[in-house]
Amino acid sequence: MYKTILVHVDGSSRQDSRLRAAVRLATEDDAHLIGSAATGISWMDFAVLAGSAGAPVQAVDLGALRDAALLRLQAFSEQAGRLGVASHEARLIEDAAGYGLLLQSRYADLVVLSQDSDDDPGPPPPVRRLPEMLALNGTRPVLVVPASYADEPIPGTVVAGWDGRVPALRALDAALPLLQRATTVKLVTINPYPQSGLHGEEPGADMGLYLARHGVAVEVVAERTSATVGSTLAGMARDCGAGLMVCGAYGHSRFHEWMLGGATRELLERAPVPLLIAH
């Protein structure tokens, strides 16, 4: 079970959907929910403002930024209480959101963020590629919630991508508390290449057995398609009415990520349901 859940609090239009997802999980697992808001000023910004970096100093009202973050945290605490979270707290990050969340994520089981969106101009200005930053540089799984999420059951049916590699394995292990209570887990291999050495004689069979021994109701699905990995998984999630997707996170500099057509980035931007990723 997830006993400590960290959720980003920025006051944006996307906050309500991710907070509802975090609250649902915290309530079901009787977990402690931490809402974290950032001033948005990093130590490098402080150095510039102090004039020690040799750069022009731009006037910034640090007090106003701090007060705005505190107001967002107050609203978070009130909403968490109304939604029935028994144990919750608000934390102020005196840093840029990404770096502050990276530090705090070490002491949580799960981090809940929103998909990037070009339709949310703020205020405050949205932090781009925050899920990717936390997944690739942090140590905990990240649940990425689309703006369209409206308190549907998590997980319900799960669509999980499996390619035999370490990030996918870590994502499945991180998602295990959710997989164990899922109605069905569709473990999907896409155009598997048995000779790669990443699969046994039957791609997905060994991982399916591993999950079944952990009490997961798993179904191995072998998909052969010319479509991208991301669009294939997202389409399956829509078709089966999934409540959760699970996928390994791969960095953009990797050769195989280029071959996949940027599956991680595609899912981070377009997953139709909450997406759990890990690296």
Name the domain boundary from 91, 111, 145.
145
Beta bridge partners, 6, equal 34, 111
Question: 75 with 194, same domain?
Answer: no
For the chain, the domain total comes to: 2
- The amino acid present at 131, given as its one-letter code, is P
- In the predicted model, what is the mean pLDDT of residues 74-90? 96
CATH number at residue 95: 3.40.50.620
Tell me, yes or no, whether 36 lies in a domain: yes
Question: 34 with 136, same domain?
Answer: yes
Q: What is the pLDDT of residues 122-152, one digit of tens each?
A: 555 667 789 989 998 999 999 999 999 999 9
Peptide bond into 131 cis (omega under 30): no
Question: 104 with 204, same domain?
Answer: no
Determine the angle formed by the axes of helices 97-105 and 130-137, rounding to 10 degrees: 40
Q: What is the band of 258 on the pLDDT scale with cuts at 50, 70, 90?
A: very low
Identify the residue with better confidence: 9 or 122. 9
pLDDT for position 257 = 44
Q: What is the band of 48 on the pLDDT scale with cuts at 50, 70, 90?
A: low
Percentage above 90 pLDDT, the chain: 68
User: How far apart, in whole angstroms, are the C-alpha atoms of residue 9 and residue 189?
Assistant: 35
User: How far apart, in whole angstroms, are the C-alpha atoms of residue 44 and residue 41?
Assistant: 8
**What are 236's two structure tokens?**
């399956």
Q: Give the residue carrying structure tokens 């791969």.
A: 250
Q: Is the pLDDT of residue 85 over 50?
A: yes
- In the predicted model, what is the mean pLDDT of residues 206-213? 97
> Strands 275-278 and 142-145: what pairing?
antiparallel
Query: Dihedral through CA 22, CA 23, CA 26, CA 30, nearest 10?
Result: 180
Domain that includes residue 75, residue range: 4-145
Strand residues in 50-205 grouped as ranges (E)? 88-93, 110-114, 142-145, 157-161, 184-190
Tell me, yes or no, whether 151 lies in a domain: no
pLDDT for position 115 = 92
Name the domain boundary from 145, 179, 200.
145
Q: Are 111 and 138 in contact (CB under 8 A)?
A: yes
**What are 16's two structure tokens?**
């309500």
User: How far apart, in whole angstroms, are the C-alpha atoms of residue 51 and residue 227?
Assistant: 52
Number of H helices, E strands in the chain: 11, 10
Q: Are 245 and 270 in contact (CB under 8 A)?
A: no
Q: Are 123 and 153 in contact (CB under 8 A)?
A: no
Question: 139 with 204, same domain?
Answer: no
**What are 36's two structure tokens?**
């974290």
